[in-house]
A and B are shown apart, each in its own frame.
Chain A
Amino acid sequence: MPQNQNSSPIEARLRPEACPEHNRRAQPEGTPPRSKGGWRSLAVFLAVVVIVVVYAYGFQVTKVDLEKPREERRQTQLTNIIRGLVRPRLVEYEEERLEIDAPIVMPCDSRVSLPPVDTSGRYIELTPNCVKLGGEVTVKGYNFEPGETVFLFFIPKAASIHDQVELRLAQDAIETDSQGQFTYVAEMRQDRPSDEPQIVRAVTKIRSGLPHPSDTLKDTFGKIIETIFLALIATTIGTALAIPISFLAARNLMSAMASPFGSVMAGLLIAPLGGALGLILVGWLTGLADGLTQNLALGVVLLVASTVVVWLLIRLLSRDYQGRFAVWRRGGLGLLAVSLVALALGLLATLGMKLGVWLQVTLGSFGFLGNFVFVLADLIVTFLPLLGGLIGLSISSSLASSLSGRFLRTAKPAVAKVFTAVVATLAGVLLAAIVVAIVAWLYKIENPFGFVAVPAVMVGVVLLAISLIIDVQRPVPVGITVYNITRTVLNALRSIEPLIMVVAFAVWVGIGPFAGVMALALHTIAGLGKLYSEQVENILVGPIEAVTATGANRLQTIAYAVIPQIVPPYIAFTIYRWDINVRMSTIIGFGGGGGIGFLVQQNLNLLKYRDASVQMIAIAIVVATLDFASAKVRERII
């Protein structure tokens, strides 16, 4: 038996002093053992101290201060704001200007006699009714409505009624008391003496006629409609782009993708070339389409013709080619089809732009439909070359990697090794050169060639070393790499609030709702991309397994086993996001993004709280309504 310090249970039973109870009793009474409880209370005490310090410092940093809100000036201001907010300027009355005059003699002259005052309606009384230049007069008003706003003017004697001017006697508006009276001590002017009576005038406005919606209400209505549509367009664009991206950010779809190092590198090497080729080719085709549609009839004929040819090509492509040249034949036909599709789209778009302009002129008040057609066509023209580049990039790189993968499988080990090494080195040099060239451009570096060359060679050498070390047949997990990159980008984008993004977009596309649309759409892509991808990760694998087993390819598996499973959660999340976007679009105007936020900010800055109140009510109504509606729709779908 090993003689270690932990004695076996049997030994412990044999030796009483080893028993814990005995141990404790054997100790002298005066020195109790340091118990666990003591440590624990010390830890609790320390934790409390730390918490107190943290919050004390927090109060310091956030300047929590109860003195300022107690100041009377600030309380008055707050009261004004609250009074404004609880009286939204929803309706306005037709207002009529009412002038109440009283004669005054300045300077005093006993020869001038004044008529008696008519006290049947509103009237003002001056004491005294004659005064020296610059003297004081007490103006009293009677028979006004309580709380009426009155302005006081002095109207000097003028040659004719057209030359009359109203000079302010009181700087501020005067408010009548609960009896409908007011008293104001006015200081008369130093100039403007006259032999005849002059006039002190009280001006007030009285409501007349029926109430009608205020201008503020009308503006608010227009802007809230803009806000809702801003959210709609942003959600639509964001959703459309988030769906494909979410597949790239789904671990279960991406983890299956793996291919040998050499074939990955071949794909990377070809990708930039294919992208550039696609960009140039489609750009040229778009330009060609623009030229061809100068003649309308020719453009239409060509559009129809190219559509028919594309359809025929697709029919040809759908045949099951077998044999040695199948890949090449398919590739050639596919390239032709894609180019023709690009040409057809270019023709369609340039014709669409013309159609849009024509519709705008012809449709009159429905001209916005023409504008819609024009913008859609313009969108195609703008993004077609970019799309071509993207397609060229993906087709060429997937073709290169699959062909080289096939080559690597059949090649002799030594040949495969050399191939991998060469391709990896070239890919490393090319990609590093591209990345560093972009950096050089961003930082405006003087000697770009020298700056680019060193890192390019270094990366090339590193990849050469890697390709010499690794097993060239072993698949490397490409999918997981793509997944990680997508996730990182999405997380970074999501952490930037749209209110910040909109500032950048406002610089690019100008202040207005379009900047708001772009900012919200970008944030929607990031937010929904993550939520969607988590839904993809949660789907059942059984159906995917079953569809894969039938011989379906990756795209077919997604269409038949993945998409049916993710449609309900996708719809639910899209509605949820639209909800968020409506709320965000109400404040995106603070950053220059259009919508109702712009009005709110303007009114708050001009201290027009009654108007801001109208907009806040509108926001509350819209958000609450959409909240309710989206909850109902979501219930239905899930």
Chain B
Amino acid sequence: MLEVKNLTKIYDNEVLALDQVSFNALKGKFTAVIGLSGSGKSTLLRCINRLVEPTAGQVVWDGVDITAAPQEDLRLVRRRIGMIFQQFNLVTRSSVLTNVLSGRLGYVNPLWSIIHYFPKEDISKAMGNLERVDIADKAHNRADELSGGQQQRVGIARALMQDPELMLADEPVASLDPVLAHSIMKILKRLNQEDGITVICSLHFLDLVQQYADRAVALNEGQLVFDGLPHEIDDERFKEIYGQEAERIG
């Protein structure tokens, strides 16, 4: 179980991004994080694996305080947490295979990895993961030759190389069209159900939340305004989360 306790983040420009946020993400569940742009969703996800250093509060994962871990231990924590991004964040000039293999960097010998040497089993594991997301045929293409949906699949394959127990997905489908969005969400759901990976996924559209998530938490201006089941979000709750002027679409 991932416990987020009173998490607060104040950026250097004194913007309060997260304000005393507390919730629990249960093991093996699909938790959606919703809210307007700028409500703190990305900051919340990045505080969990400390890509962003929280100002105060704790993130405790299976009893281990991630927020207190020193740098060396943090690497060991991070390698069990996969992450995928809205902009996919692939190294576009490298090959798809290299991008996927880079997900293994937390496990392999640093010296060998610097000269781009990976053990055979890691390479076959990478091919297997590419197979899983259906783009094994693109393994030797450069990443920028792929379409958006394909790049996000590579992103997922990279995260899978970490043998993750937790997957953080930062608006993984916001840059994709609805058809691709559903295909990516289906892959995430399958990982959640078949591999038992805990998923925390920030999303824009409520219909995606209600279709794929087991739980939902909502943020508004850095504060937690909802924590419950997706179908509990009715029109009234919706206005609390998105503001009085918001219209429900989709």
Contacts and interface: CB of A to CB of B under 8 A. Distances in A.
Given A318-B109, A542-B85, A550 B103 contact: yes
Interface in B75-110: 75-83, 85, 87-94, 98, 102-107, 109-110
B49 A555 contact: no
Contacts of B49: 549
Contacts of A568: 93
A320 to B, nearest CB: 8
B63 interface: no
A561 interface: yes
Interface residues of A, number: 29
B162 interface: yes
A497 interface: no
A317 interface: yes
B202 to A, nearest CB: 15
Interface stretch (B21-29, B111-119, B228-236): B111-119
B84 to A, nearest CB: 8
B78 A550 contact: yes
Given A318-B109, A552-B106, A553-B110, A546 B155 contact: yes
B105 A564 contact: no
A556 B110 contact: yes
Contact of A559 (B51, B75, B88, B113): B113
Contact of B90 (A317, A405, A406, A543): A543
Given A550-B102, A561-B91, A556 B78 contact: no
Nearest to A543: B91
- The interface centre, meaning the residue of B83, B106, B162 with most chain A CB atoms within 10 A of its CB, is B106
Interface in B46-72: 49, 51, 70-72
Contacts, number: 96
Contacts of A553: 75, 105, 110
A548 B90 contact: no
B94 A564 contact: yes
B102 A547 contact: yes
- The interface centre, meaning the residue of A540, A551, A553, A564 with most chain B CB atoms within 10 A of its CB, is A551
B158 interface: yes
A549 B83 contact: yes
A314 interface: yes
B76 A548 contact: no
B113 A556 contact: yes
A143 interface: no
Interface in A375-406: 402, 405-406
Interface of A: 314, 317-318, 320, 402, 405-406, 409, 540, 542-543, 545-553, 555-556, 559-561, 564-565, 567-568
27 contacts: A318-B111, A402-B71, A402-B72, A405-B70, A542-B85, A543-B90, A545-B89, A546-B158, A547-B102, A549-B78, A549-B81, A549-B82, A550-B78, A550-B82, A550-B103, A550-B158, A550-B162, A551-B76, A551-B78, A551-B79, A551-B106, A552-B105, A553-B75, A555-B110, A560-B98, A560-B102, A560-B105
Interface of B: 49, 51, 70-72, 75-83, 85, 87-94, 98, 102-107, 109-114, 116, 155, 158-159, 161-162, 168
